[in-house]
Amino acid sequence: MGQLIDGKAVSKEIKTSVASEVEELKKSGITPGLAVVLVGSDPASRTYVTNKEKDCASVGIYSEEYALPETTSQKELLDLVHTLNAKKTIHGILVQLPLPKGLEEEEVIQTIHPLKDVDAFHPENVGRIMIGNCRFLPCTPAGIMELIHHEGISAEGKRCVVVGRSNIVGKPMAMLLLHENGTVTICHSKTKDLKKICLEADILVAAVGRPKFITADMVKPGAVVIDVGMDRDENGKLCGDVDFSEVQHVASRITPVPGGVGPMTRAMLLKNTITAAKIQNGIPVL
Ligand code: NAP
């Protein structure tokens, strides 16, 4: 039976260390601040934003919420981002995606100042991830690397397979594993022989968005399995991209859903906000 990788417990440790960093920064007169922008009334996005604010409060980070109506124009949204770029008390800006139809996400992302881009979606920060000179790491892949490190797992020389090639998870995940000397394959919906490729993986990351997509016959015995998915099963219950009940018997270690990658993503946003506050105040980031 595979050992559980407890993202909830690891994220708690990270939050404790972030809270003590916030305390230190406050002694120097710096209160890290995060602005979260929500456009429209999508219930999932609303929940994410509320959770982000709660997380900030729990570690002493100042947060501001901007809840804009669905009818917000591109110009109004960009004007708000410009205002937040200039605001001294705000070190990190997060615009909750996806945006309602009619708004241009790419332009909004590119308008966020790269030093305040705590999601690491700005092309400048994406480029830095490619060259391995990151300022901020995208929250989900960074959280996964923290989990892997915490477990004492090294990617070096390992066969790593990432299923999914989104800009927010799959691609940066593959880059981070590559920077740590993994031999990485990225799979997607056009990949042939997916099962065969997955079976080669020592570290298998599933970021597909399909409930229980990775089945036990796709997993090499003893592999480390990381499940990014946040899906709903046939009964509407939260589940991952991995068929956990079966795969746990094959994997050596596995993240559960919930309680695996999700809490790590949330913790990494807090870490990025501290990093942003330090960079903007000329404090070295260790
Ligand atoms: P996405 O943008 O929809 O990307 C899904 C990827 O899966 C695409 O690259 C797609 O390939 C690939 N794919 C789809 N069907 C496939 C198939 N049959 N075989 C192989 N690959 C296939 O999703 P995402 O934003 O990366 O998110 C993935 C999952 O992670 C979702 O469940 C999301 O809710 C979850 N998520 C969780 C967290 C967290 O904190 N836990 C954070 C972010 C996302 P193509 O590119 O060819 O279409």
Given CATH 3.40.50.720, say whether it is the number of domain 139-262: yes
pLDDT digits (tens, 9 = 90+) for 243-253: 999 999 999 99
Q: ∠ at Cα 235 (231, 238), nearest 5°?
A: 30
pLDDT confidence tier of residue 286, bands split at 50, 70 and 90: confident
| Best residue among 47, 228, 244, 261 to mutate for probing ligand 1, ranked by most atoms within 8 Å of CB | 228
pTM over 0.85: yes
What counts of helices (H) and strands (E) characterise the chain?
10, 11
Q: Is the CB of residue 163 below 6 angstroms from any atom belonging to ligand 1?
A: yes
pLDDT digits (tens, 9 = 90+) for 90-120: 999 999 999 999 999 999 999 999 999 999 9
Question: If you take atom 35 of ligand 1, which residue's CA is the nearest one?
Answer: 229
CA of 35 to the centre of ligand 1 (A): 26
Residues of the chain with CATH 3.40.50.10860: 29-114
pLDDT digits (tens, 9 = 90+) for 155-211: 999 999 999 999 999 999 999 999 999 999 999 999 999 999 999 999 999 999 999
pLDDT digits (tens, 9 = 90+) for 38-80: 999 999 999 999 999 999 999 999 999 999 999 999 999 999 9
Q: Is the CB of residue 194 below 6 angstroms from any atom belonging to ligand 1?
A: yes
Beta carbons of 193 and 161 less than 8 angstroms apart: no
| Best residue among 14, 168, 169 to mutate for probing ligand 1, ranked by most atoms within 8 Å of CB | 169
pLDDT confidence tier of residue 1, bands split at 50, 70 and 90: confident
What is the reported pLDDT for 138? 95
Residues of the chain with CATH 3.40.50.720: 139-262
Beta carbons of 209 and 164 less than 8 angstroms apart: yes
Distance CA 265, CA 10 (A): 11
Q: Which residues lie closer than 8 Å to 149 by C-beta, 6 or more apart?
A: none
Q: ∠ at Cα 178 (52, 139), nearest 5°?
A: 5
pLDDT digits (tens, 9 = 90+) for 234-284: 999 999 999 999 999 999 999 999 999 999 999 999 999 999 999 999 999
Kindly state the average pLDDT of the residues 6-28.
98
Q: Is the CB of residue 262 below 6 angstroms from any atom belonging to ligand 1?
A: yes
- Residue of 107, 93, 135 whose CA lies nearest to 278: 135
Neighbours of 54 (CB within 10 A): 11
Distance CA 164, CA 21 (A): 34
Beta carbons of 241 and 212 less than 8 angstroms apart: yes
In order, the DSSP letters of 69-127 are -TT--HHHHHHHHHHHHH-TT--EEEE-SSPPTTS-HHHHHHHS-GGG-TT--SHHHHH
Distance CA 74, CA 72 (A): 7
Q: Is the CB of residue 184 below 6 angstroms from any atom belonging to ligand 1?
A: no
Locate the DSSP E strands across the chain: 3-4, 33-39, 62-68, 92-95, 159-163, 183-187, 203-206, 224-227, 231-232, 238-239, 253-254
**Helix (H) or strand (E) segment spanning residue 197:** helix 194-199
CA of 88 to the centre of ligand 1 (A): 36
Q: ∠ at Cα 127 (126, 129), nearest 5°?
A: 65
CA of 169 to the centre of ligand 1 (A): 8
| Best residue among 121, 205, 230 to mutate for probing ligand 1, ranked by most atoms within 8 Å of CB | 230
Beta carbons of 117 and 136 less than 8 angstroms apart: yes
Rg (CA), the chain: 19
Is residue 221 classed as helix, strand or coil in its secondary structure?
A: coil
Beta carbons of 52 and 94 less than 8 angstroms apart: yes
Residues with active-site annotation: 52, 96, 119
Q: Is the CB of residue 147 below 6 angstroms from any atom belonging to ligand 1?
A: no
Q: Which amino acid is at 255?
A: T
Q: Is the CB of residue 140 below 6 angstroms from any atom belonging to ligand 1?
A: yes
CATH superfamily placement of domain 29-114: Leucine Dehydrogenase, chain A, domain 1 (3.40.50.10860)
